[in-house]
Structure 1
Amino acid sequence: MRIIRFVNNHSAVVLGALTDQGDIYSLPHSDFMELVNQAESTGVTALKLVENSIAGTDPIRERLDELELLVPIVAPEVWASGVTYEKSRDARNYETTNGKNDEHTCYDKVYDAERPELFLKSTAARTIGPNTPVYLRNDSNWQIPEPEVGIVITKEGRIVGYTIGNDMSCRDIEGENPLYLPQAKIWKHSCAIGPAIRLAETVEDPYDFQLTCRIFRDDQLVVEGTANTAQLKRRFEELVSFLIRDNEIFEGTVLLTGTSIVPPNEFTLKENDYIEIEISSIGVLANPVKVQVPSEKVM
């Protein structure tokens, strides 16, 4: 069972249940975390609460591809994990050493360290959903999407759902100096999540998610890569445990768990490219690529 948010024919925002058969039901809840908290307060699982809510009701007429989808959760914050896959470590090393992968860097150290790399990626106001353009940063010449499993957590750190995240990244800025990480990761429309949240209790094995990233240019497939969460260096619970250490986490926070799909080193995104990130049993997060109008320079 998946949870979505969409705009109905009356321009109202609706929380919906999306079954594995593709049927969509409106839910009597304002948002995902209200659903989760109500289930907990009544002593049932979120899945059972959803099943009880839609029992005896009819699905809406529209199909998923006919809806105006929104972010499935208005996450107060989106955090992200770095260097959780070997492929990510190798890509960071390439950026930092100008292609001399035999040199050891800070990314080798963090890959093997007890403490993972965690950083703030986005806030509710900065996060976009399906079909909304991701923006290219004007002062970077080497930009890529980073397809990632996103985990939805409570303020105590309990995992209640899984979604798809696009952690847009500037490889040249981070490669110039690791201290530039915030600028390499955070700018307008640089974080997308969606299209749905898979309820955690319906996932048999979260270390068997199959990820696929496709990038289209002029309607032609130019990049395609695959990965599986079985390749993760760290467990999801481990990442969460470090995130909540001496830290205040808000209900519905999303933690992106790192990428193992990296386009070829000679590739960079261009305006009007189209990104699709697919994760088995969750869906496809699709976003066009646009160049944002640069802000006025401060003199």
Structure 2
Amino acid sequence: MRGILRFADAEGRVRVGLGDDDEDLVRPFPDVRGMADLLSRPLAEIRELVASASGEQPVGRQADVAVLPPVDGGTEVWAGGVTYERSRRARGEESDSADLYDRVYDAARPELFFKSVAWRVVTDGEPIGIRADSELDVPEPELALYANAHGEIVGYGVCDDVSSRSIEGENALYLPQAKVYAGGCALGAFVRPVWEVEDLDAGRVRMSVLRGGDPAFSGEVALAGLRRRPEDLVSRLFDCYPFPDGAVLATGTGIVPGMDFTLQEGDVVDIEITGIGALRNTVVRGQRALDWLVDSRAEPARRRPGTPLPE
């Protein structure tokens, strides 16, 4: 499997290229300044770049580069909510306004909300966060759509839309506080080109949470259970918003633990989407554990991975 990858080479230069698991090599795209630059281009041009990358000189093996989150510049991350039946039921369990979620599930207009600016996104091997003022927190494994400035879906990825159920459940108007905070958004390192995924609906989303090395939760759902078509979600997002650097849209989750489960510091969250990619993160608590994100804005090649993952 191969995918678009943002990385820092041995000299610390941040680049975008093509990673290939079969070859275990990374090949750079020539004259591409970053993911925002890539997502500003039409789909046909991006296809040409991916096709021509096989002729580029590799910068090394995947282990030789520092893998970075696949977003930068002005690219924004958004998310959709209540797009699976399980999500609708879960929102009703946590809230005293269950009818609100029932209505949006059946409505023509989806729930869409802002999730993160590019610099606050973490990727595989970096820590995700839970708020210090939240009592009930969950990972939300989701298919991510990478859309270019023209509203075309150019790739798929893995997203963890980490959320506070207790804050959103207290009042639906607290949604931004439940969703938007340091460590609340993780994206898998690889972006799978859309034209290389033959049957998206055949895929499955799987998630497990390890606590002290033992399973604390696991679940899976078919992508075919997504109520709204990816193209329709992107079309709605682009209706009234210009995205000159493209956008990432997480499509909602169909895996939600019961109300008796909450993430704890030190948990390890593993997410996999068939044919798309994987994501693994350790949980930290509170903003201070993610202060390194601020320092990494100027020098992304020096991102610190935070708490090491267990073997």
Q: Give the TM-score, by structure 1 length.
A: 0.87
CA RMSD of aligned residues (A): 2.2
Of 263-272 and 68-77, deviating more is: 68-77
Q: 1:33 and 1:77, CA in 2 relative to 1: closer, same or farther beyond 3 A?
A: closer
Q: 1:36 and 1:178, CA in 2 relative to 1: closer, same or farther beyond 3 A?
A: closer
1:212 is aligned, of 203, 206, 212, to: 206
Q: Which deviations, in whole Å up to 9, do the C-alpha atoms of 1:228-286 show, x marking residues without a partner?
A: 21001110111112111222223221011000011232110011111111112222111
2:45 and 2:204 map into 1 onto residues whose CA distance is: 25
Aligned residues: 285
Q: 1:139 and 1:195, CA in 2 relative to 1: closer, same or farther beyond 3 A?
A: same
1:191 and 1:290 map into 2 onto residues whose CA distance is: 13
1:1-299 equivalent positions in 2, closer than 5 A: 1-19=2-20, 21-27=22-28, 28=30, 29-35=32-38, 44=44, 46-55=46-55, 57=57, 59=58, 61-64=60-63, 67-74=65-72, 76-97=75-96, 105-293=99-287
Residues 81 and 118 in structure 1, CA contact (< 8 A), matched pair in contact too: yes
C-alpha displacement of 1:198? 0.5
Q: Which deviations, in whole Å up to 9, do the C-alpha atoms of 1:92-119 show, x marking residues without a partner?
A: 000014xxxxx95111111011111011
Q: Give the TM-score, by structure 2 length.
A: 0.84
Of 31-40 and 70-79, deviating more is: 31-40
Secondary structure at 2:192's aligned position in 1? strand
C-alpha displacement of 1:127? 1.5
Amino acid at match of 1:5: R
Q: Which consecutive unaligned segments of at least 5 residues does structure 1 have? A: 98-102
Amino acid at match of 2:6: R
Of 242-251 and 120-129, deviating more is: 242-251
C-alpha displacement of 1:24? 2.0
Of 151-160 and 11-20, deviating more is: 11-20
Residues 39 and 49 in structure 1, CA contact (< 8 A), matched pair in contact too: no
Amino acid at match of 1:50: V
1:24 and 1:172 map into 2 onto residues whose CA distance is: 43
Identity value in percent: 39
Secondary structure at 1:72's aligned position in 2? coil
Residues 39 and 246 in structure 2, CA contact (< 8 A), matched pair in contact too: no
Residues 220 and 255 in structure 2, CA contact (< 8 A), matched pair in contact too: yes
Q: 1:257 and 1:39, CA in 2 relative to 1: closer, same or farther beyond 3 A?
A: closer
Q: Which consecutive unaligned segments of at least 5 residues does structure 2 have? A: 290-311
Counterpart of 1:100 in structure 2 is none
Amino acid at match of 1:24: L
Secondary structure at 2:190's aligned position in 1? strand
2:184 and 2:56 map into 1 onto residues whose CA distance is: 41
2:3 and 2:252 map into 1 onto residues whose CA distance is: 22
Q: 1:132 and 1:52, CA in 2 relative to 1: closer, same or farther beyond 3 A?
A: same
